[in-house]
Structure 1
Amino acid sequence: LAIDYFNQGFYWEANDEWERLWRVSGPDTPVGHFLKGLVKLAAAGVKVRENSIHGVRRHAASAGEVFADVAAEVNLDHLCGLEFVMLQFAADRAAQLTYRDDYPVGEPIRVFPFALQPEPMPFG
């Protein structure tokens, strides 16, 4: 649900869903750290809508660092179907972009030029 929210521009709702999962998964677990990165990436989207470029850069850069740390910790390419390299690239890109300052108020709109696309889970 949170990925759908994120991809459709509902960054606050995505942030809220991932934060809820973060709390129940245990903030100090690898999954908890991973979810914290997603929370920060969604928060960057919220900051775009608030015209806070400093907030965008801070949250996006922090998300990229979290994804790099989790990738090293779990020694995997993917977690929960999302590829770490793609997440790090997306976070870095979000931190570097220039954003409009005239987004419609109260309407969801994608502000990032990327979408989160989970890989299907292997069977067997």
Structure 2
Amino acid sequence: MFGIDLYNFHYYWEAHEAWEGLWIASVRNSSEHRFLQGLIKLGAALLKIRMAKYEIQDLIGARNLARSGIDLLSKVGIDQFMGLEIPKFLKSYQDFVEPIYEDIIPVIDRKTPRIELMF
């Protein structure tokens, strides 16, 4: 939960750090492993988007990380996993990052997709 709070408050590097230990401890290629790695990459893509304000080349990294993270979450295997409605989250995430494929830098603000858990 701490990693989700960090992500939602735009602390993407810190969210990565919170999730990394869990990702490493998870069984390789399991749903948990793909889920956590996907979240880490999606957060890293948003960090690269923020950094692209200063170095436009960071958009290349953002594109690669976003594609990879989306692919990993898509392969978790079920629509709701650990409380996250994956298709809904991915739709909002893809809509948000779509401009980076045209070299447009979206603003990281309150419109940035949040991780909202359903229980």
Q: Output the TM-score relative to the length of structure 2.
A: 0.79
Q: Which residue of 1 aligns with 2:55?
A: none
Of 83, 86, 94 in structure 1, the residue corresponding to residue 85 of structure 2 is 83
* Aligned residue in 2 for 1:28: 29
Q: Supply the distance in 2 between the matched residues of 1:94 and 1:114 (Cα, whole angstroms).
A: 7
Q: Report if aligned partners of 1:44, 1:60 keep a CA contact under 8 Å in 2.
A: yes
The ranges of structure 1 where at least 4 consecutive aligned residues each deviate by more than 3 angstroms after the TM superposition are 109-112
2:96·2:113 contact (CA, 8 Å) conserved in 1?
no
Aligned positions, number: 109
- Classify the secondary structure of the residue corresponding to 1:113: coil
Q: Which moved more, 1:26-35 or 1:83-92?
A: 83-92
Distance 2:118 2:26 in 1: 21
Which residue is equivalent to 1:99?
Answer: 105
In 2: Cα distance, 1:83 partner to 1:94 partner: 17
23 and 110 in structure 1: CA distance in 2 versus 1, 3 angstrom threshold: farther
1:114 correspondence with 2:113: yes
Pairing partner for 1:63 from 69, 78, 89:
69
Distance 1:118 1:46 in 2: 22
Distance 1:83 1:40 in 2: 18
Identity of aligned residues (%): 29
Kindly state the Cα deviation for residue 32 of structure 1 after the two structures are TM-superposed: 0.7
Partner of 1:106: none
Q: TM-score by structure 1 length?
A: 0.77
Q: Contact 1:5–1:13 at 8 Å: present in 2 too?
A: yes
Indicate the SS of the match to 2:14: helix
The 1:27–1:111 alpha-carbon spacing in structure 2 relative to 1, beyond 3 Å, is: farther
Q: Distance in 2 between matches of 1:118 and 1:96?
A: 23
Give the SS at the match of 2:113. Answer: coil
Q: 2:31, 2:114 → 1: CA distance? A: 23
Q: Tell me, which stretches of 5 or more residues in structure 2 are unaligned?
A: 53-57
